[in-house]
Structure 1
Amino acid sequence: MNDFPSTRAPRVYVGRQPILDGAGALAAYELLFRDSPDNRARVHDDVQATAHVVARTVGEMGVSAVLGLHPGYVNMNRELIFDDIVHLMHPERFVLELLESIVFDDALFKRCAQLRREGFRFALDDVTRIDDTLLAALPSVDIVKVDLLAAERAELPELASIAKKHGKLLVAEKVETHEDFIEARDLGFDLFQGYFFARPQVLSARRASPARGTLLRLLAVLGAEPGLRELEAELKRNPDIVLQLMRLANSSAHARGRRVSSLRDAVAAAGTRQLMRWTQLLLYADGSGLPWRSDPLLQLVGARARFMELAAHALRPSDEAFSDAAFMAGVFSLVHVVLDMQPAQIVDKLHLAADIRSAILGGEGVLGALLGIAQAAERGDARAIDTCRLAEPALDALTPALLARLQVEAAAWFAGQPLD
């Protein structure tokens, strides 16, 4: 029986762009209006666009699925600030972004003060210079978002200084290059948003973790289908990994009303299949102490792998081995980033199956096409998605509507839902 609903059912979409802190951890999302799986904004009415974003996030997809544990920034124009739609959003989960086109006057400042007393935070969006509008608005907002592309670079130090003197959180928008990030960080910006962070290559310089060699050995042990005693012995040699695996196990077990308190419990509760998956994902954790779901690269690869697994299941519901291979292809498609080696070296070192190897290195076969779809979906490239689908006739069942649904499910799985 097909586990997926009819693709004729109407679909809803929400875009989201990560906002990171200076350590590279995910701090928030900006939520964006989308009306199709094609990741492009077609906004004809600001009020309607924000209403759709709020309704879909709160009522249809669910806040936890879209945001996980992080706050969401939502664009608000003047009309919406005075509308009851504000009260559909929980103040602790949403930041209200005042659009650059908004008219500031006493009525607006009074409304902002009222909503701030209720717990809401306001962000002033697309700031580019110091002017009377900025100075008048500063007392009514909590966050200042500076557009690095449009701002005069010579004015940035004074702009940052004024915002900081007023006690405001500073967000650098449209961070396009490593140099942009370094400059903004040195000027005291707190959070960062932009295309630079969407590229996993930016994280290739992260400090090598001594645990990664151990993780590779553990993967080899898991691949040999060990007994419980042998697996426990291997894990006990690596207490740091055990600690992380216990956290991962509890993130799943807690949702089922029980608590994993021992290594044996964790292995028994998860099974070697899930343990293998978690170990694969932990290759991307950098050992810096970041909560694992706050690491942007770990989030990217986890959502990619889950998306590919779900797509594989949709194609072959009874073929568990195919779903596992799709998950592994997604995971190891980015492992060269953290191990600072060429992809071919990595897949040879891991002794990956031929179909996974050819998918990662050459985009070949059904797995290669699935990987191409996953990568294109992350970029919002509808044309590339169609090209990958057409390359393999077996992928006809993966309609745009179904792929959009799987993206939401994959994001929810990694954003804090049980790891089923």
Structure 2
Amino acid sequence: MSMMPLMDEDQGLPVLMARQAIYTKSQDVAAYELLFRDEQGNFVMGLKDDDATLAVLVNSYASFSKATKAQVPFFLKVTDKVLLNDELPDFPRHLFVLELLPHTQVTSRLIARLETLASQGYRLALSGFDPSDTKLHPLLKVVHVLKLDIQLIGLSRIPSLVQKLKPFNLELLADKVETQEEFRQCLEMGFALYMGYFLSKPDLVRGKKLSGSKVLLMQILQELQNKHATAQSVEEIALKDPELTYKILRVVNSAAVNLRREVTSLSHAIALLGMDQVRRWVMLFLAKSDNGKPTELTRTMLVRGRMCELLAEMLEYQDPMECFIVGLLSQLDVMMDMEMEVLLNEVPLQQSVRDALLNREGQSGALLSEVEVYERGEFERLKKLLPSQFYEVAYRHSLKWSEQVLEAMQG
């Protein structure tokens, strides 16, 4: 599906939105935090129901959670003004955690309002807690989740802080966890939840080699790129692993592809879709975890690849498929715990793709950088290659598409 029909059927929103995962100790997704900025990159303060923005959140973003087997809530940042003026829509209690900001003005009226919300079944969180700033301390008796910025506070100060917080029975969320080592340290300190980009960094293992199934995928990719390849020659390689072939066909027959008739073999898929499209689905399985990595990493890779492709179509780039591959494989080093340069020596990819992945060079490399900025919610850093609403719609549709693909991949 190209970008223009997407824009026709789903208008962009007046704000830019992205989501970031909040993880459990086992690195499963416990919740998502929703990030908002207006078109100038400013944080949206005190969203009101008549903006229709919150209604869209419930209907669009929450629907991704409803569609999955494991429904998770969203953390939504709210101001004390919104809470006190009773401007909060009637959210599904189980789908939203209300997150108070560090500049919240703590008053007896606010405390009473929070206690009422808690009694109604809302879960409350507090972000940006500074242990040396006593004005926020009264909130510790009311909120359920406390977010601690480990970079701001410093890891060395956190163990004693955790001890002091124990009487409040709070669920502690370690924020800005940037590396696997920081994750391990926070795990030892007793945090229940984790947020940050630690999953985006490879935990390098010396001398690691690709698994047998990945090597076979490489062989299929190599054949798909051979100008003398035929549907039969590709299928002959794939049938060395019938289970893998079945999984690829299951994805090709899924809602993410939207074919009108069932594809029964890889050669049939190539005849219907062409070599390039089948290469896309083989790439998906190259990006799929087979070593216990969290599903969220695969989801991020899918979203990134699809968003790169959609934006490339809208920008009328010559090869949107290359942008898809660049986005999809941009975290292959993390998935495999191998250096990207070492990996690319084993993956049969053209030079422009290698340059994009290693150095963010060329058209597809620049677009990947733009998508990375968007998914972090750093909207003020966008180069605005397109009007803002195209980014938001492309991101939202990429989320939906990734859920369809994951469902097909996991059976």
Question: TM-score per shorter chain, which class?
Answer: 0.7 to 0.9
Contact 1:22 1:191 in 2 (8 A): yes
1:407 corresponds to:
395
8 Å contact kept, 1:19–1:28: yes
Q: Distance in 1 between matches of 2:260 and 2:81?
A: 44
What's the CA shift for 1:121?
1.4
In structure 2, relative to structure 1, the CA distance for the partners of 1:31 and 1:382 (3 Å cut) is closer
Q: How far apart in 2 are the matches of 1:277 and 1:146?
A: 40
For the residues of structure 2 that align with 1:212 and 1:373, how far apart are their CA atoms? 29
Alpha-carbon shift at residue 94 of structure 1 (Å): 0.9
> What is aligned with 1:96?
98
Distance in 2, Cα, partners of 1:115 & 1:232: 62
**TM-score, normalised by the number of residues in structure 1:** 0.71
Summarize the Cα distance change of 1:138–1:17 in structure 2 as closer, same or farther, 3 Å threshold.
same
Q: Deviations over 1:383-402 (max 9, x none)?
A: 6736xx6xxxxxxxx44443
Q: Once the two structures are superposed, what CA deviation does each residue of 1:207-263 show, in whole Å capped at 9, x if it has no partner?
A: 876343233234345556664897488357264x568658756863799999x9x98
What is the deviation of 1:282? 3.2
Instruction: Output aligned runs, 1:1-400, within 5 Å.
Output: 3=5, 5=7, 11-36=14-39, 40-42=41-43, 45-46=45-46, 54-58=54-58, 61-64=60-63, 70-82=72-84, 84-102=86-104, 108=110, 111-129=113-131, 137-151=139-153, 156-161=158-163, 163=165, 167-176=169-178, 179-194=181-196, 196-197=197-198, 200-204=200-204, 210=211, 211-220=213-222, 223=225, 227=231, 231=235, 234=238, 237=241, 239=243, 241=244, 248=251, 252=255, 276-289=279-292, 292=295, 294-295=296-297, 298-316=298-316, 322-339=319-336, 343=340, 345-361=342-358, 363-378=360-375, 380=378, 385=383, 398-400=386-388
Residue 395 of structure 1 is matched in structure 2 by none
Q: Which amino acid aligns with 2:144?
A: D
1:411 deviates by 3.4
SS at match of 1:92: helix
Q: How many residues align?
A: 395
> What SS is found at the alignment partner of 2:127?
strand
What secondary structure does 1:127 align onto?
A: coil
Q: Distance in 2 between matches of 1:417 and 1:94?
A: 25
Q: Please tell me the root mean square deviation across aligned C-alpha atoms, in Å.
A: 4.9
Deviation track 1:295-325 (CA, whole Å, cap 9, x = no partner) reads 2xx23322221122112322449x7xx2222
8 A contact 1:73–1:94 mirrored in 2:
yes
Matched-pair contact (CA < 8 Å) for 2:223–2:233: no
Would you say the 8 A contact 1:14–1:34 is kept in 2?
Answer: yes
Q: In the TM superposition, what whole-angstrom CA distance separates every residue of 1:1-28 from its partner, at most 9, and x where no partner exists?
A: 954659x987431243332333444432
Is contact 1:305–1:328 with CA below 8 Å preserved after alignment? yes
One-letter amino acid of the structure 1 residue matched with residue 383 of structure 2: I
Deviation at 1:417, TM superposition (A): 7.9
Distance 1:344 1:406 in 2: 29
In structure 2, C-alpha distance between the alignment counterparts of 1:227 and 1:307, rounded to whole Å: 29
